[in-house]
Structure 1
């Protein structure tokens, strides 16, 4: 759709139009529990007078001009608004990027096809005679979104993004204790979710064996090898959030610690954020219209970059990175990660564990947080004895000092993976992102 808005004089204005389609279906213990779909269309209108942003949202696109006019009446005109340092920093781009059309567009898939795929997984991955499994939940769904940003400076960019997800949750009761395991996948198109039965069953057996045989670990400090999924979580929580520059504007202590050019970790570590990658954090333009780019945050252990929106970049005298993102048109854009990952190294997994006499292999993790101290909750851990991965051990918490851990990484694997199974919460906004990395070896982490 073409738009011809009458933007007010002496004010910076923008309109962000979004269209979302969502579909979901859940079968729990053989019964359909959730089954729905909806389409939502709306827009955020913003006007800036150099001192304050004035905003409005609407679900009626025909009302956008009247919303602009209403905001104009309460803003203070500034003839020099386009000389404002933040406004000057806003890029002017014109582009249309549509990645999903016809058969690749999930909106064109009949609901019956989603149900058919889910029923097939339930049949192939459920065994009613398996008494070890007391809970089964299988779910599938997807989201397609289109964004269109138009500004008074002349930006007119539109792009689309979609993701399809599938998961299978199991509950196991062993000796009266219930535990859970799961397989979860996110892909860009629905056909990519077909044929994952072997992976689902492999993960189920792994979690079942863990439920039956894992023993509590003796708390203490251990040499640890983190699998790619765990490295991804560590990178996102412990380093990615520290690199979001809006935190630096209010946290002077962090700003002093996190100085560009400072060595903050092992020379084996390099960390990037790249919204250009067609993964879960894909954002070819951010919600200010800045074009995405690959941003090195750490290179060979040295801090060389941060994630910015226009305001933080201007305030700190650094370059914009295309990381101003909003959850949806109801929310204001803030500095957010996109696809954030630790780059692969050259070490082989076998070599990484070979020199460990007594350590822990952390294969999977459910969640984590990170600031100066990071905390992760592992779901699958194994003892490393004399250079071999051995019996499962139950680890409730993995903790460490971020700065010490970054320096304690003495091996970085070549087994890099980027995971599209992430979403990230910040300031009340939940946003799709990807996180990645290889296996890494850390000299010492606290286990409990």
Structure 2
């Protein structure tokens, strides 16, 4: 697709063809069965000092939008020498992985209903009195993005994702709990026939709700299951690695120096977008190819995540991490697939090395800055090297920097998990990952 780009300005056009579908059951009643298709474009012009942007749902008006923005921008004969513009690579690529068999746009209303009602039936034991309500849902989305710039970039790429979940609301001894499981995949077929996995997790949660007793608050040796390691990595280290946070923070720039030892030598943290995981992003929304970035290697700070602007200011290379939620939004620095790499320690030996501690099995939410917070969904005592009784833990806290040094075991069992990450009002699909790890001391309440 060709446009008449104005001279002496940098111009880009990002076109998106977005599709989504949802189905939701509350107990046995369907409360949502919807499909939405939206096509639109984001146009941006840069004159070296300011960005001028517009969005439109009328693809036939893109040239008029370009012309209108060009009239208010100030032509700059040296625009191609601008440090930010120089960081926009010229790439030509077409990566369409999902347009054949398995395209989620072809899922039918009947398929969406069937998968929900099947899991509702197979994963609800109506003899369990503690179950008060059940929520079952299916969702899918598909996106085709086309990106063109005045430097000559032409990229077409696609993305799709689907998920199914069931969640039971439990009432046990006056307390409220949740028992459920969700899956996210790239293809509908991969969501089918997984009731055994769902029921195993549901039964674990019901048993936990019945037996768990409040923890005695204090500092404990903690073993984090892979999913908990993954959220710690994302919230506590991943966001700190997004370089746009540093641009107006001289203190953070002075603290976050490349080559500085920031954790135990067992710890390596990576962000990459080429692998087919939830944060899959071969090219970012500035047209730069996603790089595999070692944020920390063997405990040493070795990289951070950039868009073109942050890389130019910090005099580093773009990493292809500029991402936008949709064509209404401008890109910003975002994670893709971010994970703590596998170590060399056997997960069972990690637990056996704990005399008196806590095993954090999964989580409800996590946040991180200088101090991180994780609210476990389920946790268990560790006694004499064995995982024993379920315990109720309200919150786990610790210093990010101290915890990175206090990790003394990193397991071989790297696992990945799918989720969404919010930042400045934009929500993006990301993958998190990690193995079992052991931390010498965390505060439990």
**TM-score between the two structures when normalised by the length of structure 2:** 0.99
What's the CA shift for 1:101? 2.0
- The SS at the match of 1:104 is coil
User: 2:232 aligned to 231, 234, 255, which one?
Assistant: 234
Question: Could you tell me how far apart the structure 1 residues matched to 2:320 and 2:46 are?
Answer: 20
Write the deviation string for residues 395-429 of structure 1: whole angstroms up to 9, x where unpaired. Answer: 00000000000000000001110112x11111111
Match of 2:395 in 1: 397
Look up the match of 2:357: 359
Report the Cα offset of residue 119 of structure 1.
1.5
Map residues 9-28 of structure 1 onto 2, 5 A cutoff. 9-28=7-26
C-alpha deviation, 1:103, in angstroms: 2.0
The correspondence of residues 241-280 of structure 1 with structure 2, limited to 5 A, is 241-280=239-278
CA apart distance, 1:129: 3.0
The residue number in structure 2 matching 1:370 is 368
- Name stretches of at least 5 consecutive residues in structure 1 with no aligned partner: none
Contact 1:103–1:109, Cα closer than 8 Å, also in 2? no
Q: Match for residue 424 of structure 2?
A: 427
Cα distance in structure 1, aligned partners of 2:376 and 2:108 = 38
Q: Secondary structure at the match of 2:65?
A: helix
Residues 127-166 of structure 1 mapped to structure 2, 5 A cutoff? 127-166=125-164
Cα distance in 2 for residues equivalent to 1:46 and 1:113: 40
* 1:414 equivalent in structure 2: 412
1:92 is aligned to: 90
Deviations 1:221-246 (A, max 9, x none): 00000000000000000000000000
Question: 2:28 aligns to what?
Answer: 30
Matched, 1:214 2:208: no
Task: Please list the CA deviations of residues 246-272 of structure 1 after superposition, one character each: whole Å capped at 9, or x if unmatched.
Answer: 011012222111110000000000000
Structure 1 distance, partners of 2:171, 2:111, is 33
Distance 1:127 1:383 in 2: 28
Which residue of 2 is the match for residue 349 of structure 1?
Answer: 347
Which stretch of structure 1 is more off in the superposition, 102-111 or 22-31?
102-111
1:376 & 1:178 partners in 2: Cα distance?
19
- Following the alignment from structure 2 to structure 1, what is the Cα–Cα distance between the partners of residues 114 and 281? 31
Using the TM superposition, give the Cα deviation of residue 340 of structure 1 relative to its aligned residue in structure 2, in angstroms. 0.3
**Partners of 1:349 and 1:196 in 2: CA distance:** 25
**1:317 alignment partner, one of 315, 323, 327:** 315
> Counterparts of 1:4 and 1:307 in 2: how far apart (Å)?
31
Shift of 1:366: 1.3
How many residues end up aligned between the 2 structures?
445
The one of 214, 220, 224 equivalent to 2:222 is: 224
Residues 1:76 and 2:71 are matched in the alignment: no
SS at match of 2:122: helix
- Which residue matches 2:435? 438
CA RMSD of aligned residues (A): 0.8
The two structures have a TM-score, normalised by structure 1, of 0.98
Residue 209 of structure 2 aligns to a residue whose secondary structure is helix
Quote the Cα distance in structure 1 between the aligned partners of 2:175 and 2:360. 22
The alignment partner of 1:347 has SS state of coil
Structure 2 gaps of 5+ residues are none
Contact 2:33 2:109 in 1 (8 A): no
For residue 102 of structure 1, report the CA deviation from its aligned partner: 2.6
- 1:359 positional shift: 0.2
